[in-house]
Amino acid sequence: MADPVNDPALRSFIDVPVDSPFPIQNLPFGVFHRPGYESPHLGVAIGEFVLDLAEATLAGLLHVPALPLGFLAAQTDLGEFMALGLPIWRETRSRVSKILRSDNSILRDHPPLRMRCLPASADLAMLLPTRIPNYTDFYSSREHATNVGTMLRGPENALMPNWMHLPVAYHGRASSVVVSGTDFHRPRGQTKADDADAPTFGPSRSVDFELELGVLIGPGNALGTSISTSEAADHVFGMVLVNDWSARDIQKWEYQPLGPFLAKNFATSISPWVVTLDALEPFRIAGPTQDPEPLSYLRCTAAAAYDIHLEVTLQTSSMAKTVRISLSSAKYLYWNICQQIAHHTINGCNLQTGDLLASGTISGPTPDSLGSMLELAWKGTRPLTLLNGETRVFLNDGDRVTITGWCQGDGYRIGFGEVTGCVLPAFPV
């Protein structure tokens, strides 16, 4: 039976354009700071407005019987709510949907109450959805892994022997995960030219973006236990857009034998709105055929991929408008989120509420669907020419990268909003 909250025929009393990322079928959760208020509030996006869950609770509009009285009004981030699990998330989203429906007059016909409970999103400062205790970055796009491997080792050795058998990943730096709109300084570190005898220290000359999606964990698992592929989705609070910025020249020198370090820990940007798997359910699809068949603990009996349209735009400091440089899709991911979670925990590792698990760079099979500058400019050998005549092989100071994503429904979109950030000059040392 279809979830009535996802019914394409549902309409809100708030006018939501058909290309808005936040119709009533979506209702993503986020955290914001509102002018005149001391503490952050939880919210749900609807069109160009946000339902303030604290104000809606205090006004008596939003009562979830399974939650303590006033619970939603007392929270300053989503962490405690995320830890409560799928039944609570589902009931809360359903009750928010009822408040916002076109046939419900409780907010629709009371302007003062609407002003109190539905601030314009443009007036709010979005924050990280929750404290992120741990961050894991996977490497789940076969096209991306093949492209990078081809550049490094040639096409005959593009994929390492383990890649087709397990979701490769590394543990990243959680403290430098930032919300969309947070600009960052060009990182510094050691690099070594191929013809040099010794490394040098200085700003990276090869700063790159990485087009990714991420999941935020709700309830975790106890140390010494694991989560199966069939149980994994119930541990996912929702999904966000991710840009895992990279310094390719620093990475090239430092990554052997233990992997990325300074090349990746300076900034990872995520979108502020968390889209629930319930909202994405109509767009769940089977992923790519996996051959060889994964080991038993990685097998999925149900479709676990999502048809999410992804775009990357670039705006240089001399451009008045952005230009699209990549058009991709989450459907290309070889390893899905259920397999990632099952593999992450199969050795007894305990996931925690708020953990961020990113997909790794998402690239498609065509030249315009590549998810990084490394691939778009093919390791600097094919400079990318922009509409104003500028060229790029990697990102310059003042370049702003924006990632957007959505699922296209019948007359509506389930969108993520955007994740954006600008490269600032390296800070002096």
Hey, which residues are catalytic here?
144
Cα–Cα dist 128/78, whole Å = 9
Q: Counting runs of H as helices and runs of E as strands, what totals does the chain give?
A: 12, 24
Collapsing DSSP to helix, strand or coil, 168 comes out as: coil
Residue 1 to residues 4, 5, 232, 393: CA-CA distances in angstroms?
Answer: 9, 12, 21, 49
Residue (of 284, 311, 308) closest to 369 by Cα position: 311
Q: Who's near 6: CB < 8 A, 6+ residues apart?
A: 25, 278, 279, 281, 282
Residue 386 to residues 319, 322, 328: CA-CA distances in angstroms?
Answer: 10, 10, 18
Collapsing DSSP to helix, strand or coil, 98 comes out as: helix
- Amino acid in the structure at residue 169: A
Six-digit token string for 285: 């699809």
DSSP category for residue 358: E
Cα–Cα dist 290/141, whole Å = 12
Ramachandran area for residue 348 (φ above 0: left; ψ -120 to 50: alpha; else beta): left
Residues in the chain: 429
Cα–Cα dist 325/342, whole Å = 34
Collapsing DSSP to helix, strand or coil, 270 comes out as: strand
